[in-house]
Structure 1
Amino acid sequence: MIPDRIMRKIERCLALSQSANAHEAGIALRQAQRLMAANGLSEQDVAIASVTEHSVSAQAGKTPPRYLEALATLINAAFGTQAVYSVSLDEHSHLIRWLGQWRFLGTDGASQVAAYAYEVLQRQLIRDRKAFQQGLNKRIKRATRIRRGDAYAEAWVMGARASIIPMEMSEEAVAVLEAYTARRFGGDLKALTPRQRGKLRHHDFTAVREGFAAGRHVQLHSGVEQERREELTHG
């Protein structure tokens, strides 16, 4: 394990190597190369070291519903991150109960912001879905209530997506995240197949329209900042 101070020094030297001052850039690059050679590091090793992980509860079990997978995808698009879904057994439960979480991977602090944004929007999405279901006719079947709630939530995410500007990621940034993922998880990662609630029926499309309209009012970045301000106020 390379000490953090060495990694930070190499990163600073590589940053200075981009200086407009050719003499300064040359010195910084040679210093970075010497440090990397002394510690057996490649440029990819240094780049991978800049990737961080931040986890957040998915409020789901072994298999997340499709609307939460869609929300994680939206967050990735907004902040230039990748999300990995992982599960663990609830040690505090007497029954076999799985706890799911999203691990957001990113550089330059993106993973922390992405995890926080996901947590904020997930809370709002679950609250809106529950409120929608409470407004349904009390006599409808439980399966119908769940199906319409899921339809509402998926449309909510679609509406929210319309208000974000996807982050443009360079080929280098994508390659770094892919290399980090391969090194971190090896061949253990599998394609995620989220849980779905069956085909929609005619009356379910009211849920789709209402969910999309509600999602259109979501302001991703301002919503996150509002949460931060509220936490500071209550703290």
Structure 2
Amino acid sequence: MNEKEKILNKIRKCMALGESANEHEAASAMRQARKLMDKHGLTEVHVGLAEFGEEGVDLGYRRFPGWVTALAAVVGTAFQCSAYTSWRSVDYVGRKENTVIASYCLEVLMRQLKASRKEFVSSLPSYGRYGARIKRENADAFCEGWVSAIAAKVREFAAPVTQQEKARHNQYLTDVRETKVKKARDRKLAHESSASAAAAAQLGYRAGKDVQLHHGMSRETEALALAKQDKA
């Protein structure tokens, strides 16, 4: 949490106390809130952004494979979060409750994907043209296909984002988090490298289609559904 986020949270707490039944306590809290807002050049709009935050998932990668960043983005879309990669981790930015659930779901899906990848690699012949480089290339293509299947499922249930919510999200990124968005590097997709890699991507897509993403009364319900499947 950066300094501006700490100030916004303090102002929100003061404003919450401003609704106290004790008139003196309420008035004092509102004066303190206004004092902080004036001092730091903040408005009620900025204070509303205190509902936003970020949550990180340490995945251990120094250099993220394309299929990992793709999966992170897919999960972020499902939970109305922006996804950024930093040292070893994926950081989700959005409403605080959504960032927590998105982070948890990414961990669950990564475990499932890694298990599927391992199973796929073990099925490849250990002779002929299937050397270490080809195996890695085909495994990456398999993962790309798997993520594509998950992305298709996410589009079916991801909640639409209103223009107002999108504006608040972008304002948080620029005014509070001060995110400098970098243009994504063009990456060569593994499944485009050879016929065997393309076939591996198809196998990955089929495996990804078997992953169940359940509709629920809330995002928490969907996260729990993933967790149950992960333990099965």
TM class by smaller structure: 0.7 to 0.9
With normalisation by structure 1, the TM-score equals 0.73
Q: Closer, same or farther in 2 for the Cα pair 1:118/1:194, shift >3 Å?
A: farther
Residue type of the partner of 1:193? Answer: R
Name 1:45's counterpart in structure 2. Answer: 46
CA distance in 2, matches of 1:109, 1:44: 19
CA distance in 2, matches of 1:103, 1:197: 23
Q: Closer, same or farther in 2 for the Cα pair 1:11/1:148, shift >3 Å?
A: farther
Sequence identity of aligned pairs in percent?
24
Q: How does 1:121-132 map to 2 (within 5 A)?
A: 121-132=109-120
Q: Offset at 1:169?
A: 1.1
Name 1:211's counterpart in structure 2. Answer: 204
Q: Which runs of 5+ in 2 are unaligned?
A: 1-5, 20-28, 215-220
Q: Does 1:79 align with 2:79?
A: yes
Name 1:102's counterpart in structure 2. Answer: 90
Name 1:94's counterpart in structure 2. Answer: none
Q: Which runs of 5+ in 1 are unaligned?
A: 15-31, 88-99
Name 2:24's counterpart in structure 1. Answer: none
CA distance in 1, matches of 2:58, 2:188: 20
- RMSD value, Cα: 3.2
CA distance in 1, matches of 2:17, 2:99: 21
With normalisation by structure 2, the TM-score equals 0.74
Q: Offset at 1:223?
A: 7.2
Q: Does structure 2 conserve the Cα–Cα contact (< 8 Å) formed by 1:57 and 1:102?
A: yes
Q: 1:22-78, CA deviations, whole angstroms, 9 ceiling, x for partnerless residues?
A: xxxxxxxxxx987754432313311221112111023321x3111111101111111
Q: Closer, same or farther in 2 for the Cα pair 1:230/1:122, shift >3 Å?
A: closer
Q: Does 1:136 align with 2:124?
A: yes
Aligned to 1:106, what secondary structure does the other structure show?
strand
Q: Closer, same or farther in 2 for the Cα pair 1:188/1:49, shift >3 Å?
A: same
List structure 1 runs of 4+ shifted beyond 6 angstroms.
11-14, 32-35
Name 1:168's counterpart in structure 2. Answer: 160
Residue type of the partner of 1:39? Answer: L
Q: Does structure 2 conserve the Cα–Cα contact (< 8 Å) formed by 1:152 and 1:211?
A: yes
Q: Does 1:177 align with 2:165?
A: no
Q: Closer, same or farther in 2 for the Cα pair 1:184/1:193, shift >3 Å?
A: farther
Once the two structures are overlaid, the 10-residue window that deviates more, 216-225 or 104-113, is 216-225
Q: Does structure 1 conserve the Cα–Cα contact (< 8 Å) formed by 2:54 and 2:96?
A: no
Name 1:59's counterpart in structure 2. Answer: 60
Once the two structures are overlaid, the 10-residue window that deviates more, 187-196 or 67-76, is 187-196
